Amino acid sequence: MQQQKCIFLDRDGVLNRERGEYTYRLDDFEVLPGVPEALRLLKKNGFLLIVVTNQAGIAKELYKKEDVLACHSKLQESCDTLIDAIYYAPGHPNYSESLSRKPNSLMLERAIAKYNIDTAQSWMVGDSERDLQAAGKVGVRSILVGDKYNAGAHEYQVKDLWEAAQVMLGKERVA
């Protein structure tokens, strides 16, 4: 079976608006501009699209698994169901230890095994250091989006997913 290339995507701050607090209500879940177009472009270039997101609010009992699943349904509907899989880690260290929760890499490892992913041809797009750390643990290149960190904080750092797609596709053509 041929290995596949993949884009791993953090959710809050990459795909939907980061609100500074937990996003679990459908009314608050807003897909960022350019996200559907970026996903379409990446899919057209042969990438699997897999979301990996920490959802500690479940362990903290701030919201339920059903709330997360409803937001994920809205995300899929907004993006023409282009996302191949969504993994989420409901734990939080104060409540339940989890190797799935980023910066750990178990969500990525599970996807790599299930989908036969070639890590050398794959990327992680995140908006925090913990996303990039998880990617590094499995040998996946990473790109930082957003403005949480000063310029130069990471080798690949851009404004949003659309710009990230341009960088990743540019690097893909060089490889």
Q: Tell me the catalytic residues.
A: 10, 12
Q: Are 47 and 165 in contact (CB under 8 A)?
A: no
Give 173: exposed, middle or buried? Use CB within 10 Å, 0-12, 13-18, 19+: exposed
Q: How far apart are the first and last CA of the chain?
A: 22
Q: Are 153 and 30 in contact (CB under 8 A)?
A: no
Q: Starting from the edge strand earliest in sequence, which strands make up the sheet with 85-89, in order? A: 85-89, 48-54, 6-9, 123-126, 141-145, 157-158
What's the CA gap between 98 and 141, in Å, rounded?
Answer: 23
What's the CA gap between 69 and 72, in Å, rounded?
Answer: 5
b/e map 33-62, b = 16+ CB within 10 Å? ebbbebbebbbeeebbbbbbbbbbbbbeee
